[in-house]
Structures are given as structure tokens and as C-alpha cells.
Structure 1
Amino acid sequence: MESHAVRVIEILDVTHDVKCFRLEKPDGYTFVPGQATEITLSIPGWEEERRPFTFTALNEAPYLEFTIKGYPEHDGVTKRLHELRPGDTLNIHDVWGAITYQGPGYFIAGGAGITPFIAILRQLYRDQKISDNYLFFSNKTAADIIYESELTRMLGKNVCYTLTKEKKEGFDSRKIDANYLREQIKDFSKHFYVCGPDQMVKDISAALEELGATTDAVVFEK
């Protein structure tokens, strides 16, 4: 199995608990927006702890980028990742398919579930093909929204943010469920891209089927 030791070039704060990691890009290493790889730490005792992360920069970038939420309450891989510094080394592995863009439609994300969509939306924006796509993005609070300003710049009126644990002017406060989708979506024949907590994905997939979306038009991370 392919493995590359790569150095951390830069670490940027995205939100209070999300960081952007930019890593060296091995020669010839390519991917399609929405694809992922597994990362392992170069720390004794952690070398076999593989975790999947989606690329968030475009393939043409001179570096690899991952946008990762940390969970400091758990002594796990993401906590250790958030303790890294530029110059530290990680191992990346084979590229594999996660969520792939199949045509214009609706992106539905919960929290860190936005990450498989970031490179896809950036690519569509760069190619001037984003106009017929929509994003519904659920978070607990406004402070949790990953890349809010960039998503708003790219999508304009086609992005809706909803907060489940905070009421704030300018934001929706409803749960994304069948009633929400029925009100917000006019065309259930389009593609749907869903990523978030397991129960959210399960519930939304069932709601979309109930509302008339065909099973093969609903794309979710497996």
C-alpha cells in the first residue's frame, strides 16, 4: 500500500476547534475533489492508527490540505493532530473515493461534514459552474461554521445556515428534516450530497426518499 512521509508546512485556525493543515505534496500525487486519504501520525505508539480525511485544497495546489476538527476531550488522533507544529511529519496513504460530484444539486452538511464538499465547491467556483448548486449547512452555533465567509462568497444566496443550539439574527434555527427540505427545495429530481453525523445522514436520506428523490441521486459518504 502506498505511503508517503510528508512535512507539515502550515497550520491555520479556521474556527475555535477546527484547523487547516497544509502538507508537502509528493510528486505525482493526485486526487479528485471529494476524495480522501488515510493519515497516520509519526508518533511512537500511534503509527498504526489510521484515520480518513478529505482533501480540501484543489488538486492543482502545490500542497495538500486537510481541514480537521479536534476533539480535545478524547485522547485520539485528532487531538494529537491539533498538537502538531509546522515541520512535524505525517504519513499519508492511497487516495480513495468518498463523495464525487455528479451534477448540479443540493449539498446538505452537518458540522465537520462540510469537509468533503469544500474542494468540490471550490472547484465548481473556480470553473464558474457553481451557480446551480445549493448548500444547507447545519451547525450548533455560528462560531462552529467552517469557512463561512468563503462559502457565502462562493454561493451567495444559494447557501443557508441553520443553528441548532443558538438563535442569532441572520441565521435559521430549524433542524434540517423532512419539513425543512419540503419548504426549501422545489426540485427533488436533482442530485443530493449529504454528509454529517451518522444519524443525520440516515434521517436526511430517508426524508429525501420520502419527498421523491431517487436513491441513486442521493450521494453520501460511505
Structure 2
Amino acid sequence: MEKYTLKIIDIIDETDNTKTYFFEKPENLTWEPGSHTHIGHIGFDIGDQPRKEWVRHMSIITLPEENKIAITTRVPGSKSEFKNKLAELKTGDEVVFFKIGSRMGLRRINRPIILISMGVGIATMRPLILSFINDKTNIPYLLNINIDSSDKFVFKNQLDKLADENYKNYWINSRTSFYEMLSKLMKSENAIYYVVGSDAFIKDIIQRLRVNSIKIEEIIIDRKDERKQKFLEG
């Protein structure tokens, strides 16, 4: 297993308690849009067993051509030792990246794509959106729907500037409004659905999609195969 010790080069406050951490990108490191990584605090792998409470699975929010690696997350978290330690880090500190992979690549099969995320889950969608903007081949259009009851939408200003006739954002602060929109989309769009959020949110959206005859293979979530089946078939 290859590990990369990466230095923090910048930290940005996105909204209350939400930060983006930027890291140096090694020249030989690349990844697909929508990739995830494991991040460990320095020392997590010392000893007979790794300290799992110092490790977290997170989405990479940048594209390789941006020449930096970044993650966006809510910090601190009183019940999360990983996030509490992350909140203490400063520019120049280091963490370890390992097990980079992808389950969320864009399906370029001449069907629309609808991205559905809750809160900071928009971080997973950012590189997918940028990839689509850079190359719209075999994707008629893309809709990005983010629901956040706080009304403090991460990346809103940045992503709204990219909107055009093939790409639109919907920022929603009400579950009722969100369900109404989703109901209309399911009836009118022959789309592929990407869903990111809490386990409860993912299960809820999948259930609504399945009731409306959306097939399992048309729903993309960022979970291991064995967990994915439980979500999709539950």
C-alpha cells in the first residue's frame, strides 16, 4: 500500500465549522474525478495495529490538473478524534493519504446526470461538475441539487458561475421543496442519479428512486460493494 505524506499549503473557511484543506500534490500522483482517499494523522500507523480513530475516508474535491489536493469537511467534531485533531492543524503540518480510489466516475452514456447531495456532501460533487464543464461528451446535461437546512451552501458562488444551458444548480433548504423537485425529475428525466450524504439520507433517496422505477444500476453511491448492495436492496 502506497502512502503519501502531504503538507498543508492552505486552509479556507467555507462556512461556519466547514473548512477546505489544500495539500501539496506529488508530481506522480493522479486520480479520477470523484475519487476518495483515506487520510490519517501522523503516527496513526505506528505500532502493531493502526489507530482507526485517527483515520477517515474522504472525498478529493479537486481535479489533478488543479495541481493540488483538497478535502472539505465540517470541523471540529466533539465525538470525532480525527476531526478534533484536524481542527488543530495549521499550514505546514502534514497528514498521510493512502488507498485512493474511485466509485463515482461520470457515466458518459448519452443520459443526463443528476447529482443529489446533502450539506457538505457537495464536496464529492465538485470534481464531477468541473469534469463535466471541461468535457461534456456523451452527457446531454447535468443537474446539481444540494439540500442544506442551514442555508449556508458550500461552493455556491463558485458553482453558480459555471451554470449554462447544460448545467444548473439547485440550492434547497427545505426537505418538502426537495422532495417535490425530485418527484418531478423522476417523472421527466431518463437520468443517472448520484447520491451523497448521511446513511439515512442515502437510504431515503434510494427508496424514493426505486419506488419510481429507477433501476439499481442507475443509482451511484460512494460505498464499498458489499455495503452498496445493502443500501440499494434495503
- Corresponding residue number in structure 2 for 1:7: 7
TM-score when scaled to structure 1? Answer: 0.86
Cα pair 2:61 2:123 within 8 Å, conserved: yes
Task: Confirm or deny that 1:85 pairs with 2:95.
Answer: no
- Corresponding residue number in structure 1 for 2:118: 110
**Which of 59, 63, 68 is the equivalent residue of 2:64?**
59
- Matched to 2:151, the amino acid is A
**Which of 147, 151, 170 is the equivalent residue of 1:160?**
170
Task: State the superposition RMSD in angstroms.
Answer: 2.3
- Matched to 2:40, the amino acid is T
Which shows bigger deviation, 19-28 or 129-138? 129-138
Deviation of the 1:32 alpha carbon: 0.3
Cα pair 2:114 2:143 within 8 Å, conserved: yes
Deviation of the 1:43 alpha carbon: 5.6
In 2, Cα distance between equivalents of 1:188 and 1:153: 24
**Which of 62, 73, 77 is the equivalent residue of 1:72?**
77
In 1, Cα distance between equivalents of 2:183 and 2:44: 51
Cα pair 1:23 1:63 within 8 Å, conserved: yes
In 1, Cα distance between equivalents of 2:191 and 2:185: 13
Structure 1: tracts of 5 or more residues without a match: 165-172
In 2, Cα distance between equivalents of 1:217 and 1:191: 5
SS at match of 1:142: coil
Deviation of the 1:106 alpha carbon: 0.6
SS at match of 2:176: coil
Task: Confirm or deny that 1:138 pairs with 2:143.
Answer: no
In 1, Cα distance between equivalents of 2:116 and 2:128: 13
Which shows bigger deviation, 69-78 or 10-19? 69-78
Task: Confirm or deny that 1:199 pairs with 2:200.
Answer: yes
Deviation of the 1:36 alpha carbon: 0.9
Deviation of the 1:12 alpha carbon: 0.9
Cα pair 1:188 1:212 within 8 Å, conserved: no
- Matched to 2:208, the amino acid is A
Deviation of the 1:148 alpha carbon: 0.9
- Matched to 2:130, the amino acid is R
Per-residue deviation, residues 131-172 of structure 1 (Å, max 9, x unmatched): 7100111102112x11111122223572211114xxxxxxxx
Deviation of the 1:181 alpha carbon: 1.5
- Corresponding residue number in structure 2 for 1:210: 211
Cα pair 1:40 1:92 within 8 Å, conserved: yes
**Which of 99, 102, 121 is the equivalent residue of 1:94?**
99
When the two structures are aligned, how many residues end up with a matched partner?
Answer: 212
Per-residue deviation, residues 7-44 of structure 1 (Å, max 9, x unmatched): 11111111111111111112311100101110011267
- Corresponding residue number in structure 2 for 1:125: 133
- Corresponding residue number in structure 1 for 2:156: 148
Cα pair 1:162 1:174 within 8 Å, conserved: no
In 1, Cα distance between equivalents of 2:55 and 2:38: 6
- Matched to 1:189, the amino acid is N
Which structure features the higher share of helix residues? Answer: 2
Cα pair 2:186 2:209 within 8 Å, conserved: no
